[in-house]
Structure 1
Amino acid sequence: MSEGIQSKVVLITGGGTGLGAETARHLAARGARVAVAGRRKEKLDEVVAEIAKAGGEARAYQLDVVDKKEVKAVVDAVIAGFGKLDVLINNAGLMPIRPMAEVNTDEWDAMIDVNIKGTLYGIAAVLPIFLKKESGHIINLSSVAGVKVFAPGGTVYSGTKFAVRAISEGLRQEVGGKVRVTSIEPGAVESDLKFSTTGTAASTVRDFYKIAIPASAVARAIAYAIEQPADVDINEIVLRPTVQEF
């Protein structure tokens, strides 16, 4: 079944690897026209080639979500190339886990810039367009760490993901009559995110991720939110491995 997804144009940030790439492949297989954006152009090109080989349609756009002008330029380029934009998936994210006592403010800055500002810049780029046409769907990737504080080690990361969840809910209340808004809150998912941790907690994080579910599980959840009729807004989806306590 592709109803609700067929022919929609979907822009995915962080679309070159992991969850973003798997979501791109899954939605393209369901008939979506996919734009993947991210910093590593070679990875994006690989995803586009895979989708094209499978008979789908996709294009790659180099993007650093911390640059608001670049985000707007990519959104404009996607609309120019595809003729429209229906769904934005704010997926780009960082997850360096480290006790706050180690005071790594560079990591804090990076998470705030990518996880929060990157999400806001994506919203800022598409919202006027969606409001003007009175349709569109913004999907933000939060985390179970945005539902329950992940500490010790993930305190600042949780702060950024609580922010994404709050922004999603506030945006829904403001524009829900015209634009759909969904917050996705995954638990441990197999992706490159676990490699963001390079400090003292690196081995702990990688051990924890041994229980991770495949990125395809999240891709299916995202597809479920997109495929709903226009008058149905899936506000939040929380999913995690069955054995994950947190």
Structure 2
Amino acid sequence: MTLLPTTYAPKVVLITGASSGIGEATARRLAAAGHHLVLGARRTDRLAVLAKDIETDTGVAFPHVLDVTDPDSMQSFVSAAHDRYGRIDALVNNAGVMPLSRLDALKVDEWNRMIDVNLRGVLHGIAAVLPVMQAQGAGHIVNIASVSGLRVDPTAAVYSATKHAVRALSEGLRQESRELRVTVISPGLTRSELTETISDQDTKDAVAGQMGIAIPAAAIGEAVHYAISQPADVDVNEIVVRPTAQG
């Protein structure tokens, strides 16, 4: 498939964690805008359903198995996209987990899982697409962080640490890259499956009690669409999207 120059053609956009929540909502929004999507996640059955839905609506979506914690899996994901389309215009690093708990609960395995998915997963994505985008002389990396990357609350110390780190490495990448655009999007309370990763029941109940004010995942998909739709010389560096009622 041969695409016209990016200025005149749909963009080739890769989305990690695309099987649900913000990733799925972003895929649907970008497909509606006419972009060509490569969807990555571990749950390939859900990816296949999403891709079929998008193509039924005349969109373009290619599902591909992806484990962001595995650099080889990420490289395979990016290589498949590049082989299929010949370029990569944007990567949305969205995959994440949020098993909140107090530090004294000592859920060390969950701490490591957050570091592996939320931070290393983003780094693996950057490592895989950066050479392609540098060779093209253009590209856009969108990292999904969190308002927890702007503050720290009880039970969120490790989660916040990973999201603070995502904001820091995004700013470092932005400053190192004059030909690439880098955007951080920090959602507040958003309806998604992230809360299902909380194993500490007291924390899970407390978070559930706050979700009445949560915004839909589509609000974050709209923010991603806004960022990637700007002219090539405009880099939207950071967007924070919260429910109006969130403190």
Instruction: Pick the TM interval, shorter chain.
Output: over 0.9
Uncovered stretches (5+) of structure 2, i.e. residues with no partner: 1-5
- Deviating 4+ runs (over 4 angstroms): 3-6
Aligned position for 1:33: 36
Decide whether the 8 Å contact of 1:194 with 1:209 is kept in 2: no
- Per-residue CA distance 1:30-73 (angstroms, 9 max, x = gap): 01001110000011011101101111000100111000011011
Mark the CA change 1:11 to 1:214 in structure 2 (over 3 Å): closer, same or farther: same
- Per-residue CA distance 1:1-23 (angstroms, 9 max, x = gap): xx969510000000011110110
Aligned position for 1:114: 117
TM normalised by structure 2 equals: 0.95
Once residues 128 and 166 of structure 1 are traced to their aligned partners in structure 2, the CA distance between those partners, rounded to angstroms, is 21
Once residues 111 and 13 of structure 2 are traced to their aligned partners in structure 1, the CA distance between those partners, rounded to angstroms, is 30
Decide whether the 8 Å contact of 2:87 with 2:132 is kept in 1: no
Decide whether the 8 Å contact of 1:5 with 1:223 is kept in 2: no
Aligned position for 1:49: 52
Decide whether the 8 Å contact of 2:146 with 2:186 is kept in 1: yes
Percentage of pairs with the same residue: 46
For residue 165 of structure 1, the aligned residue among 153, 156, 167 is 167
Decide whether the 8 Å contact of 1:89 with 1:138 is kept in 2: yes
Once residues 24 and 197 of structure 2 are traced to their aligned partners in structure 1, the CA distance between those partners, rounded to angstroms, is 17
Mark the CA change 1:240 to 1:6 in structure 2 (over 3 Å): closer, same or farther: farther
Aligned position for 2:157: 155
- Per-residue CA distance 1:161-189 (angstroms, 9 max, x = gap): 000000101100011x1110000000011
Uncovered stretches (5+) of structure 1, i.e. residues with no partner: none
Could you tell me which amino acid in structure 2 is paired with residue 198 of structure 1? Answer: S
Number of residue pairs matched by the alignment: 241
Alignment of 1:186-205 (within 5 A): 186-199=187-200, 200-205=202-207
Once residues 8 and 157 of structure 2 are traced to their aligned partners in structure 1, the CA distance between those partners, rounded to angstroms, is 36
TM normalised by structure 1 equals: 0.96
CA-based RMSD? 1.2
Decide whether the 8 Å contact of 2:67 with 2:74 is kept in 1: yes
